[in-house]
């Protein structure tokens, strides 16, 4: 009978003084397509249901089945939800990576592994728990071909026993995951959980210090992926036209949106839809349809990632000049085509700000959590119609495709803002209009929609060469008047985009600026800097572009400002350089991470410490 094999670490149960409660990371190493996602989600949810703050990151390959994949779960009683760089507990299921996975661990870490892999010979300073998965799965899953999918649930049972996870919570999470329609599959998996737990109880002696304990850190919270949250934002923003083209990691945003639209936006009696979803032939067509729909008055959006954005560049420029609303969700990832399409990055910041040809600038939102994916999606539609322009909502793979804890989303308090649209009655009263004339002094002209039943309604939408009345013109003064008005319009957006979240520490001379998914790592890093290096910091979290006054004020108040970018070329910092004064620019420092994994706090801390010379 196997027992844990430990040499350099104390054997026997860890005493109460050595226990580490609700503060560890688990990494499950499997091959993709093996059904591990269910086991991992159930594991995370069960701790969440016990009130323990958790986060999960799926580090997966661009492949359907057979390549290595890692799922990391972090439980943290302080609510730190960034990826933890160090792994405390590894579940080694993949023979291909098991050796590496074990060799990378720090001393004292835990290894739950498939017994035939014999990993316990590799190191003497870890807690090893061998589990004979194949032997355990056979009796609970008579059908041999299903065993591959069910055997992963065994480690949920083993970990439940080792970490004191409430088995009932695993059961609840598991049945929720499968839903009522797959009750049989749930029963099968539940059998595997129990087999794992019973084996662990019978055959393993706990020697490691990790455990969970009920707390109340998750009351009222939900678990959702950022993409699904953005889809809910679209639903409650009243989106009507959704052309799209599949691309990882944005496809699940549209998948979720389609499901919600079918559920809530089809008339139960007539079966008719108040929306049109079109899977386009490519991203060029997708954005073209968004623009056509926006021109004709619909609330239209699409979702894509960096390579798709490249294809949308020409049309985005046209939308800037024609001045049609468009909402584009960019779920950012690493690089083009093959390589790392399933890894996260903030690589499109600079490109999207200036996308297209000629002088163009576009507003962007930077959600940092699911709730902001939802609320900023709603804001983006309003901004797009208010300012008649393309608006980018900048998620990334980490936010879009991973499960996040979140407060429930509030129902919108403001009515939908449709912007400046003249009806036939308005035209009758006014006698006519000039499409691109700045009547209100905000740089935004009034528009009419095709189909408006009035002889003065029509205008001709075209690129850069037009005058205030939308007539074709190549005159220098017409062009400059128009482009200057567009610049004024962009300036005015500063008062309407989301202002940054600022936390000012009066004792701090160091400021940290970050955006999007760098949030959780940055927040944790600030605590590390204070606790471990006595470095006080202020912070400013950017929520949108164009920048607002708060950013300049923040830079002025600090002698060194670290800008965190998840890209190689410090793209947000570069964008700030375009707007700040030379003495402000001199204060900027860059903290960058671009390895494709979700950012962790330690990486940020180490870089700031290095540059500060601490």
Instruction: For 482-518, give the DSSP string.
Output: HHHHHHHHHHHHTTTSPPPEEE--TT-SEEEEEETTH
Stretch that binds other proteins, among 126-134, 161-169, 281-289, 347-355 (CB under 8 A): 281-289
Sign of CA dihedral 315, 320, 324, 325: positive
Helix, strand, or coil (residue 112): strand
358 near other proteins, rule: CB under 8 A: no
Stretch that binds other proteins, among 129-137, 360-368, 393-401, 447-455 (CB under 8 A): 447-455
Stretch that binds other proteins, among 132-140, 346-354, 404-412, 600-608 (CB under 8 A): 404-412
Binds other proteins (CB under 8 A): choice among 200, 237, 350, 601? 237
Instruction: Report the run of H or E that residue 27 belongs to, with start and end.
Output: strand 23-31
Binds other proteins (CB under 8 A): choice among 98, 110, 159, 223? 223
Instruction: Say if residues 249 and 400 touch (Cβ distance below 8 Å).
Output: yes
54 near other proteins, rule: CB under 8 A: no
Task: Return the number of other C-beta atoms located less than 10 Å from residue 559's C-beta.
Answer: 11
Q: In terms of DSSP H, where are the helices of 2-94?
A: 36-49
Stretch that binds other proteins, among 100-108, 412-420, 491-499, 558-566 (CB under 8 A): 412-420
Judged by beta carbon, residue 14 or residue 276, the one nearer other proteins is: 276
Binds other proteins (CB under 8 A): choice among 139, 271, 431, 506? 271
Instruction: Say if residues 153 and 167 touch (Cβ distance below 8 Å).
Output: no
d(CA 280, CA 301): 13
Helix, strand, or coil (residue 242): strand
Instruction: Report the run of H or E that residue 136 belongs to, with start and end.
Output: helix 133-140
311 near other proteins, rule: CB under 8 A: no
Nearest to 597 by CA among 40, 87, 42: 87
Judged by beta carbon, residue 17 or residue 267, the one nearer other proteins is: 267
d(CA 77, CA 440): 53
Binds other proteins (CB under 8 A): choice among 1, 15, 270, 506? 270
Stretch that binds other proteins, among 184-192, 282-290, 473-481, 603-611 (CB under 8 A): 282-290
Q: 159: buried, middle or exposed (CB in 10 Å: 19+, 13-18, 0-12)?
A: buried
Judged by beta carbon, residue 150 or residue 290, the one nearer other proteins is: 290
52 near other proteins, rule: CB under 8 A: no
Q: Which parts of 454-513 interact with other proteins (CB under 8 A)?
A: 454-455, 457-463, 472
Residue 219 CB, nearest approach to other proteins (Å): 10
411 near other proteins, rule: CB under 8 A: yes
Judged by beta carbon, residue 478 or residue 565, the one nearer other proteins is: 478
Residue 153 CB, nearest approach to other proteins (Å): 22
Stretch that binds other proteins, among 24-32, 453-461, 490-498, 503-511 (CB under 8 A): 453-461
Judged by beta carbon, residue 13 or residue 168, the one nearer other proteins is: 168
Sign of CA dihedral 67, 94, 82, 48: positive
Q: 338: buried, middle or exposed (CB in 10 Å: 19+, 13-18, 0-12)?
A: exposed
Residue 285 CB, nearest approach to other proteins (Å): 4
Judged by beta carbon, residue 260 or residue 562, the one nearer other proteins is: 260
Residue 49 CB, nearest approach to other proteins (Å): 9
Maximum alpha-carbon separation in the chain:
92
Residue 404 CB, nearest approach to other proteins (Å): 11
Q: Residue 66: which region, alpha, beta or left (left: phi > 0; alpha: psi -120 to 50)?
A: left
Q: Which parts of 312-341 interact with other proteins (CB under 8 A)?
A: 314-315, 318, 322
Binds other proteins (CB under 8 A): choice among 33, 61, 132, 412? 412
Judged by beta carbon, residue 423 or residue 509, the one nearer other proteins is: 423
Binds other proteins (CB under 8 A): choice among 51, 157, 191, 294? 294
DSSP assignment letter at 111: E
Judged by beta carbon, residue 96 or residue 281, the one nearer other proteins is: 281
Residue 505 CB, nearest approach to other proteins (Å): 35
Only one residue has tokens 């001379």, namely 509
Judged by beta carbon, residue 40 or residue 152, the one nearer other proteins is: 40
Stretch that binds other proteins, among 5-13, 143-151, 229-237, 569-577 (CB under 8 A): 229-237
Parallel, antiparallel or unpaired: strands 364-365 and 544-545: antiparallel
Nearest to 58 by CA among 78, 79, 74: 74
């Amino acid at each position: 009978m196997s027992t844990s094999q430990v040499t350099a670490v104390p054997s026997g149960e860890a005493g109460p003084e050595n226990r580490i409660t609700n503060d560890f990371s688990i990494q499950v190493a499997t091959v993709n397509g093996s059904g591990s996602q269910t086991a991992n989600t159930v594991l995370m949810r069960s701790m969440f249901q016990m009130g323990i703050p958790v986060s999960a990151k799926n580090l997966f390959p661009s492949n359907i089945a057979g390549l290595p994949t890692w799922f990391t779960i972090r439980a943290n009683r302080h609510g730190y939800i960034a990826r933890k760089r160090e792994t405390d507990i590894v579940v080694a299921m993949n023979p291909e990576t098991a050796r590496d996975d074990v060799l990378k661990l720090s001393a004292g870490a835990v290894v739950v592994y498939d017994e035939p892999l014999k990993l316990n010979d590799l190191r003497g300073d870890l807690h090893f728990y061998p589990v004979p998965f194949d032997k355990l799965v056979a009796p609970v899953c008579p059908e041999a071909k299903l065993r591959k999918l069910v055997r992963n649930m065994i480690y949920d049972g083993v970990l439940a026993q080792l970490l004191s996870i409430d088995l009932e919570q695993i059961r609840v999470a598991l049945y929720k995951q499968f839903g009522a329609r797959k009750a049989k599959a749930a029963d099968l998996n539940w059998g595997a959980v129990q087999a794992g737990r019973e084996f662990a109880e019978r055959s393993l002696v706990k020697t490691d210090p990790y455990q969970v304990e009920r707390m109340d850190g998750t009351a009222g919270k939900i678990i959702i992926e950022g993409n699904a949250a953005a889809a809910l934002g679209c639903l409650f923003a009243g989106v009507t036209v959704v052309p799209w083209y599949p691309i990882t990691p944005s496809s699940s945003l549209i998948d979720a949106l389609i499901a919600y639209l079918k559920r809530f936006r089809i008339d139960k009696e007539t079966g008719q839809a108040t929306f049109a979803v079109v899977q386009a032939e490519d991203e060029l067509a997708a954005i073209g349809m968004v623009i056509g729909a926006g021109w004709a008055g619909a609330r239209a959006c699409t979702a894509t990632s960096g390579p798709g954005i490249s294809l949308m560049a020409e049309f985005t420029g046209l939308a800037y000049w024609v001045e049609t609303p468009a909402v584009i969700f960019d779920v950012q990832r690493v690089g083009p085509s093959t390589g790392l399409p399933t890894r996260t990055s903030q690589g499109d910041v600079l490109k999207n700000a200036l996308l297209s040809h000629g002088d163009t600038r576009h507003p962007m939102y930077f959600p940092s959590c699911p709730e902001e994916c939802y609320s900023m999606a709603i804001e983006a539609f309003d901004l797009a119609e208010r300012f008649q322009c393309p608006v980018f909502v900048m998620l990334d793979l980490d936010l879009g495709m991973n499960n996040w804890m979140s407060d429930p989303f509030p129902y919108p308090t403001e009515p939908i803002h449709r912007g400046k649209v003249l009806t036939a009655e308005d035209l009758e009263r006014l006698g006519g209009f000039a499409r691109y004339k700045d009547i209100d002094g905000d740089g935004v002209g009034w528009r009419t929609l095709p189909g408006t039943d009035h002889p003065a309604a029509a205008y001709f939408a075209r690129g850069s060469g037009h005058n205030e009345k939308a007539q074709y013109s190549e005159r220098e003064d017409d062009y400059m008047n128009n482009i200057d008005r567009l610049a004024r319009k962009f300036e005015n957006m500063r008062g309407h985009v989301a202002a940054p979240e600022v936390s000012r520490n009066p004792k701090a001379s160091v400021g940290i600026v970050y955006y999007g998914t760098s949030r959780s790592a940055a927040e944790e890093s600030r605590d590390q800097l204070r606790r471990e290096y006595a470095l006080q910091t202020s912070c400013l979290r950017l929520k949108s572009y164009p920048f607002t006054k708060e950013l300049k004020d923040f830079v002025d108040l600090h002698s060194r400002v670290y800008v965190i970018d998840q890209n190689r070329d410090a793209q947000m910092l570069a964008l700030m350089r375009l707007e700040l004064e030379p003495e402000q620019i001199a204060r900027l420092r860059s903290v960058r991470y671009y390895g494709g994994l979700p950012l962790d706090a330690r990486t940020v801390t180490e870089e700031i410490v290095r540059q500060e010379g601490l």
